[in-house]
A and B are shown apart, each in its own frame.
Chain A
């Protein structure tokens, strides 16, 4: 598997730098190199990494942040019929400082963008971003003067959820994809041990993964009955 590496020291703001901050480069799985150095430390690190990641992915605290219509479907995922607690992500936090991930649920307005950036900066590492809905993914149907054409113009996005709005189930699927990718992550285990970079796994594209199965559908149900 290939990874995207962001070095910690690069993520500091230089004078007049452009968002998103931090140099990213594609690298091989750092674990491979470890293994060549010493089989024992390599294994130990792998066990530690996956234990920590297992803990992280099952206790993701979302930041209570909504922009527009998609937020209603996001909230729906938190209520009884969809029950996000099944995935350990029900502890909504009102402060970015206590949250693990932020869902950009809705349209990203130019007037709002600097504020979103500030809220993101206030979140502590490790932190992740889910972009929910066409608006946040790409501007969606709002190719209009007041809308940023995709929140990834200034924030690093981990998972994109398609739809306008995505169903609550789709949001939950996005959350699970985020969990999968967190499981593969390599982060510094401590400030003194080893490499201080953040390695994010390059996860396979869902579209490609499911394409073969999807194009095999030959019969579509007519909408005349329920």
Chain B
């Protein structure tokens, strides 16, 4: 199935379709469309009235080229923002970002709310994956969604007081009394985490059987980290289940409001913590949009090369654990041997294994070291034979096939409705890969294919990633063959840290350098957004600058969050071992869910 028209690119201005869309909405909703905001997000941003919100979303959902996916939903506490000239009065703004796969474009709606009346109608009837996002907004900002079936905290502990992303909530743990735990408080917290089926509209028994409630996690060998899922079981059969997240919430979005634009880079590494520098990419690209920096072809190519190296190590980790969850012991040993080979290359180039934080605003930390090509070539030569072997030994294995074929299968429509992206979406046959559809950082110069699946089942999700590794190896080879010459830092005043040579000219340049290194660069007030095809799906950073050395609001949209939200729908009627197989095939890390 191919739903994408490659001729159309949402980021290519001017897009005549934006005008058409504006006209269409203005015609139908008149002054309910309050205004259109000019931003650097690359998509039209409309402010709509609270009354019209659900209707506007419904219309957008049903256009001939519909916005099939609610890509992101979150909020901004605008009370301390000073540079918002010409925008509607608001204390809190909730934004809805929609993605159209068929039209390959986006749109954002914003709703203004006053502090005295923080409530909105839920949009679950239009986009069902709004469920978790609305809970997150409630948890982080204290905005109510009328009609939501279960508006409870999702990231913070149920006993938490306050809403962390409000500007008046403390950011640092050291701003308040040090943490302590008593025998009693431990008991209370544990009680608060107790699962009560009634809260989720579940029956404790049916006419002929009493259900068992099994608590899997937050520490379970196949839960891939601190993830909990409560199962309602009738024997081996899963009647229903409730994923419970938030055990890995590191407050990365709040952290961004306390770090300079430059010093936030290491925090991005730790979002999808097996994705390494790939995480830096959407962030630095979004910052570069704000700053107006254009980087050299060499910088672009090195960034692509390092990202693809990390895609391979991440997929290898996936492959090892996916098969281990199915009960195969040895693949993980093979896969980690290859990961070690990959890390040898990564380490030689960046000086670090997992979290190099190696990309910079307007460039890289340093140029490629002498002899890098030999190393990368060695890795490129090593991998293909291994991949063939994995395919033969594992994916052709009849036990693996029996455990994975037609298990937890879903189709493209279902995937889009839940916000599924990346390999998991492509396993359903939907050809949507941002590297092709909206090339960034020079991906348009590479020759590679986008592997697709057919059935969208556990098997396809595994097989597809082996295929993706092959394509990444192909990209690496092209990097080795055609690495452009050029600077590793862009020639721009906001490049951080600025080239050292320029500092030593006279006292003026010294002072400028000093300020930019100590306080960090000041970025113009505006909003920008960058999506990339990360290891697990589409990862995006939506930055709001208020013209200061720090971000006013950083929204990090991660792919794994919606992937987990989809689990209950797939697992109803399945068996417990199917759930384990499915968890293995999603490829998630909890930092990519809870941030």
Contact = CB atoms under 8 A, between A and B. Distances in A.
Q: Do A and B bind each other?
A: yes
B370 interface: yes
Contacts of B371: 225-226
A65 interface: yes
Contacts of A142: 250-251, 255
B416 to A, nearest CB: 30
6 contacts: A18-B180, A18-B183, A19-B183, A113-B181, A149-B178, A153-B180
A154 B336 contact: no
Contacts of B367: 224
A112 B273 contact: no
Contact of A154 (B172, B181, B337, B354): B181
B436 interface: no
Interface stretch (B184-192, B384-392, B426-434): B184-192
Interface stretch (B114-122, B163-171, B553-561): B163-171
Interface string B240-282: 0000001111110011000000000011001001100000000
Interface residues of A, number: 53
A79 B273 contact: no
Interface string A170-197: 0000000000000000000000000000
B353 interface: yes
Nearest to B330: A80
Given A73-B353, A144-B171, 20 more contacts: A18-B180, A21-B183, A65-B219, A66-B225, A67-B248, A69-B591, A80-B333, A80-B336, A81-B340, A109-B248, A111-B246, A112-B247, A114-B181, A114-B193, A143-B173, A144-B251, A146-B251, A149-B174, A224-B366, A226-B348
A110 B255 contact: no
The dominant DSSP class at the A interface is loop
Interface residues of B, number: 64
B221 interface: yes
A134 to B, nearest CB: 11
Q: Which 7 A-B pairs have the closest CB atoms?
A: A79-B336, A69-B273, A144-B251, A114-B189, A226-B348, A81-B340, A111-B157
Interface in A1-38: 13-19, 21
Contact of B372 (A115, A149, A226): A226
A59 interface: no
A109 B249 contact: yes
Given A81-B340, A113-B181, A145 B273 contact: no
Nearest to B269: A69
B292 to A, nearest CB: 29
A47 interface: no
A119 interface: yes
B355 interface: yes
Contacts of B349: 226
Interface string A160-173: 00001101000000
Given A110-B157, A144-B255, A16 B370 contact: no
Contact of B184 (A16, A165, A223): A16
A149 B354 contact: no
A114 B226 CA distance: 13
A71 interface: yes
A117 interface: yes
Given A79-B333, A118-B186, A153 B178 contact: yes
Interface string A90-121: 00001000000000000101111111011100
Nearest to A135: B250
